[in-house]
């Protein structure tokens, strides 16, 4: 058996909120490990998030096209967004899907979940549906365009790196692995 790991004990010595805004805070935590070494982690503290990969009967995927300022470009991604405090993830996925697309869905299959990386505590739950219907216009506060793309074309774009949004890429791969399309 290997000896004690420095990660067997992690204590937060100090926590400072550097920024607080809607659905996110930027936090700096100073932690002490079992070996008494310390490290400062700066990260976004968020609630959860959800995304929906919606696919028509003829395998066209409903995508959102949005400008992402940190990237300084417009990208394709999945409809989705933040889970409100105390909200069930399935209800959040249905709500966000309707807000961003104007479509409703009652039947969602959970695909999986992931975390975007070490600079956030965010966990994103991914869903799949083939059962969705247009209800009306999407939320006017959203700055989104909608686009339908053939799933095989989308898979090629993800594989080549042309489409690189993490939720989109992971959902496409999980959909493929689960033989849903």
Q: What is the mean pLDDT of residues 2-18?
A: 87
pLDDT for the residue numbered 138: 62
Residue 93 lies in a domain: yes
pLDDT for the residue numbered 142: 64
Residue 2 lies in a domain: no
Which residue range is the domain that position 124 belongs to? Answer: 49-177
pLDDT for the residue numbered 1: 46
Residue 16 lies in a domain: yes
DSSP 73-107: EEEEE-SEEEPPTT--HHHHHHHHHHHHHSEE-S-
What pTM value is reported for the model?
A: 0.87
Q: What is the pLDDT of residues 43-102, one digit of tens each?
A: 988 889 999 999 999 999 999 999 888 889 999 999 999 999 899 999 999 999 999 999
- Give Cα separations from 38 to 16, 70, 113 (angstroms): 16, 30, 30
Residues 26, 76, 57, 173, CA torsion sign: negative
Q: Are residues 55 and 111 in the same domain?
A: yes
pLDDT for the residue numbered 178: 97
pLDDT for the residue numbered 69: 87
Number of other residues whose CB lies within 10 A of the CB of residue 26: 16
Residue 92 lies in a domain: yes
Q: Are residues 34 and 107 in the same domain?
A: no
Instruction: Give me the number of domains the chain comprises.
Output: 2
Number of other residues whose CB lies within 10 A of the CB of residue 165: 20
Q: What is the mean pLDDT of residues 161-166?
A: 94
């Amino acid at each position: 058996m290997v000896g004690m790991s420095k990660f067997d004990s992690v204590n937060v010595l100090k926590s400072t909120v550097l920024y607080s805004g809607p659905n996110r805070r930027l936090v700096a935590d100073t932690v002490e490990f079992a070996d008494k070494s310390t490290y400062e982690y700066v990260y976004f503290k968020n609630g959860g998030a959800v995304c929906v990969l919606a696919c028509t009967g003829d395998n066209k995927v409903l995508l959102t096209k949005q400008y992402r300022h940190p990237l300084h470009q417009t990208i394709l991604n999945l409809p989705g967004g933040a889970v409100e405090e105390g909200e069930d993830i399935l209800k959040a996925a249905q709500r966000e899907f309707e807000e961003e697309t104007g479509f409703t869905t009652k039947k969602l299959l959970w695909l999986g979940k992931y975390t975007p990386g070490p600079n956030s505590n965010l966990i994103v739950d991914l869903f799949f549906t083939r059962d969705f219907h247009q209800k009306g216009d999407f939320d006017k506060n959203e700055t989104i365009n909608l686009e339908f793309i053939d799933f095989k074309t989308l898979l090629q774009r993800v594989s080549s790196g042309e489409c690189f949004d993490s939720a989109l890429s992971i959902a496409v791969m999980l959909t493929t692995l689960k033989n849903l399309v």
